[in-house]
Structure 1
C-alpha cells in the first residue's frame, strides 16, 4: 500500500491524449477528415507545421491517394498476410504491436483506418469467435448456442487488452471504422432494430464493437449527405460541442482545438460552464430559458448554445409539463422510477434477467 500516492491536480501538467472515433460509410470523408484533424493535432503537440502523421492503412493503401496533399504522412501498409504470403490476419495482438511501434517512433498522432478489420476482418474478433466456437463444438452445430458464450469468454479478453492499449496510449489516436445503414421502420421513421449506438435516431451502425465508441474521447458518425460533418454525435462532451458542429466539416482547426484542450489550454472549461448554465435555466421552464437565451450572455454565446438547443427545448418543455401537473391529486401524478434507469435500460435489464433465468433452468 505504500506505493499508492494521490497527487494534487495542480501538479499534473502533462497533456492528455486524444482518442477520436470517426465512423461512416463509403464517401463520407472519414480518411480525409482524419488526416486534416491529425495535421492540427500534430502541429499543436510538436509546436511546428509539417509534423509527422502516422497512418495505419488496411484499405489496400487507400491513404496514398492523399500523399501529395499530406507529404508529412508516415504510412504503414497493414495487411492480412506477412512478407511470405502467410495469412496472419488482423488479430488484437497485431494492433497492439502497431500502437507500440507508433509510440516507439515518437509519432504525435496515428490514424487507424480501418479499425473495422480488428472486429470483422480476417483474424478479427468475429473470426476468432467463430474459430473458437468450432473448436469447442467440434463441428456439432447443435451445440453452438450453448457454447457461444464460452467462446466469447475466451476471445473477448484479447480484444479488451487492445481497447485498454488504445485508452492508455501515449500518442493521440484517430480510429476510423466503417458503418452500415440500418433497416428503417417506415411507419415510425426510426430504426427497425436496436443498434450498437443505442439510439433510434442514428441510421448507421458502426462495424465495430459496441463498447469501443464509448471508450473514445469523442465519437461521431459521418453521413454521406454531409461528408466530413459530425452529423451523428454519439459521444461528444460539452468541451467539444463548440468544435463539432454538425453543419460544418471537421478540419485542421478541429484537431488543433482538441489538442489545445488536451494540453489544458483553450476555453473549453468556460464553454462547458455556459452550457451547464443554459441547462439549469431550461430546467426552470420555457420562460426562464427564453430569458437566458436573449440575455447578453446568451447572445454572446448563441452559436455555442445552438449545439444543445434541442436538448434545452426538451428540458424546458418537461419543466413546463411538470409545473402544470396537479399536485393535489397523487393518483394523477406519473409513476416515480426510483432506480434511475431509463425505460430502454430497464427493458434491457429485464431481458438479461429472463435470459439468465432461462439458462439457470436449462442447467
Structure 2
C-alpha cells in the first residue's frame, strides 16, 4: 500500500555518503578516519564510538590503530581463507554494508573502493570476462565463415555487468549507516604548459579545472552527499569540491584540512540540527542580490545584513562574481536594439563592411 507521509512525522536522521578521492600522499585514510570520528561521536553522543573500516590495501589502515583505537577493522582481500580467488565483485561489497548495519556501526569507511571498479573481480574485470565469453560464443557461431569484431559486443557485456554494479550503488545510497568512500585518483593527461595547461580530453564527468580522475565509475561521484578530490599540494584539504551542496559549503575550506569538526557538522545536518539550512537561505539571498548586478550586490554587501552574511557567502564568491558579471552585461544591452547590439556596435560593423567594399 502506498502512503505519502507528512514530513512533520519523519524524524529519522538522514545518512551521509561522503566521497574522498586522491592520489598517493593526499591523506585519504587519515582524513577519512578524522571525519568518521566526528560523525560517529556526534551521531551516538559517545566518545570513542566505533568506526567500521573496510581495508583492501594490505591492512594499511592499521598504521593508524594507535591514533584511532575505536576502529573496527575488516581485512577485505581478493582471496578467501581457503585460498580461492573471490575478487572484489559488487556482491561482496553489498555483504560488507549488510554486516556493518548488522553490527550497528554509525560510520563505515570503504578504502579503497577503487577495487570495486578496477580490481580483481571488479567491474572492469567482469566486463572483460563477459566480453571474452560473448566473443567466443560468436566465433563458435561463425565457425570460420566470417571474422568476429569484439568491439561490437562491448555494450552487450556492459548490459550484463552494469546492473550488478548499479545494485551496489543503490545499496550505498540506501544504507542505514553513514559511509565514507575512498577512491584512488589518477592525473589527467594535460595539453599545453603553465597557465595555458588544460585537460587533454573532456568527459561528461570531468571538470576542466580538476586535473584528477577518480579510479571509479564516473557517475559514482554524483550519488554522494558530497564528493571531494584531494590534491598533493594540500593533503587533507578539500581542494577540488566536485559536488558540495550549499548546506556544506561553509564546512569545506580549501585551505584547511577536514577534521572531526567536519564530520560532526555533517552529522548535525543529517540529524536536522545545526544551521546548515539557514546558511543555504543566506547563500540564495546573496545570489538574488548578485542577479541585480555589481552595484546592487556591493550595496547589500556593505549593509548590516550583508556584513553579517559575509562568512557564509564567501565560499561561493566565485559564483557571485559570475552572476554579477552576467547581470551587468545584460543591463548594458538596450531592449531597443535587436540581437543585443548597441548603436555603436552597428556603426563599427557598417564601417567594417564599407572598408571591405572599398578594398574590393
Structures share fold, TM-score greater than 0.5: yes
Aligned partner of 1:193 in structure 2 is 201
Please state whether the residue corresponding to 1:173 is helix, strand or coil. strand
- Greater Rg by CA: 2
CA distance in 1, matches of 2:59, 2:188: 28
CA contact (8 A) 1:197 1:205 kept: no
Aligned residues: 332
State how 1:109-128 maps to structure 2 within 5 Å. Answer: 109-128=107-126
Is 1:246–2:254 an aligned residue pair?
yes
CA distance in 2, matches of 1:196, 1:46: 39
Aligned partner of 2:142 in structure 1 is none
CA distance in 1, matches of 2:340, 2:35: 53
CA distance in 2, matches of 1:22, 1:316: 32
Aligned partner of 1:352 in structure 2 is none
Please state whether the residue corresponding to 2:149 is helix, strand or coil. helix
Runs ≥4 residues deviating over 6 A = none
1:206 to 205, 209, 214: 214
Aligned partner of 2:158 in structure 1 is 152
Please state whether the residue corresponding to 2:21 is helix, strand or coil. strand
Aligned partner of 1:320 in structure 2 is 328
State how 1:1-363 maps to structure 2 within 5 Å. Answer: 3-138=1-136, 142-186=148-192, 188-195=196-203, 197-332=205-340
CA distance in 1, matches of 2:148, 2:122: 24
In the TM superposition, residue 195 of structure 1 has moved relative to its aligned partner by 4.2
CA contact (8 A) 1:31 1:113 kept: yes
In the TM superposition, residue 126 of structure 1 has moved relative to its aligned partner by 0.4
Question: CA distance change for structure 1 residues 87 and 196 in 2, over 3 Å: closer, same or farther?
Answer: farther
CA contact (8 A) 2:206 2:213 kept: no
Give ranges in structure 1 of 5+ residues lacking alignment.
334-363
CA contact (8 A) 1:196 1:206 kept: no
Aligned partner of 1:345 in structure 2 is none
Aligned partner of 2:353 in structure 1 is none
| Residues 250-301 of structure 1: per-residue CA shift (max 9 Å, x gap) | 0000000000100000000100000001111111101111122222222223
| Residues 201-234 of structure 1: per-residue CA shift (max 9 Å, x gap) | 1100000001111000000100000110111111
Query: 178-187 or 204-213: which moved more?
Result: 178-187
CA distance in 2, matches of 1:89, 1:102: 20
Q: Give the root-mean-square deviation of aligned CA atoms.
A: 1.5
CA contact (8 A) 1:137 1:144 kept: yes
Please state whether the residue corresponding to 1:226 is helix, strand or coil. coil
CA distance in 1, matches of 2:329, 2:185: 38
CA distance in 2, matches of 1:331, 1:276: 31
TM-score using structure 2 length:
0.90
CA distance in 2, matches of 1:120, 1:41: 29
In the TM superposition, residue 168 of structure 1 has moved relative to its aligned partner by 0.3
In the TM superposition, residue 196 of structure 1 has moved relative to its aligned partner by 5.8
Please state whether the residue corresponding to 2:253 is helix, strand or coil. coil
In the TM superposition, residue 329 of structure 1 has moved relative to its aligned partner by 2.2
In the TM superposition, residue 303 of structure 1 has moved relative to its aligned partner by 2.4
TM-score using structure 1 length:
0.89
Please state whether the residue corresponding to 1:179 is helix, strand or coil. strand
Question: CA distance change for structure 1 residues 196 and 37 in 2, over 3 Å: closer, same or farther?
Answer: farther
CA contact (8 A) 2:205 2:219 kept: no
CA distance in 2, matches of 1:332, 1:295: 33
CA distance in 2, matches of 1:111, 1:331: 55
Give ranges in structure 2 of 5+ residues lacking alignment.
140-146, 342-360
| Residues 302-341 of structure 1: per-residue CA shift (max 9 Å, x gap) | 22211000010011001100110132222346xxxxxxxx
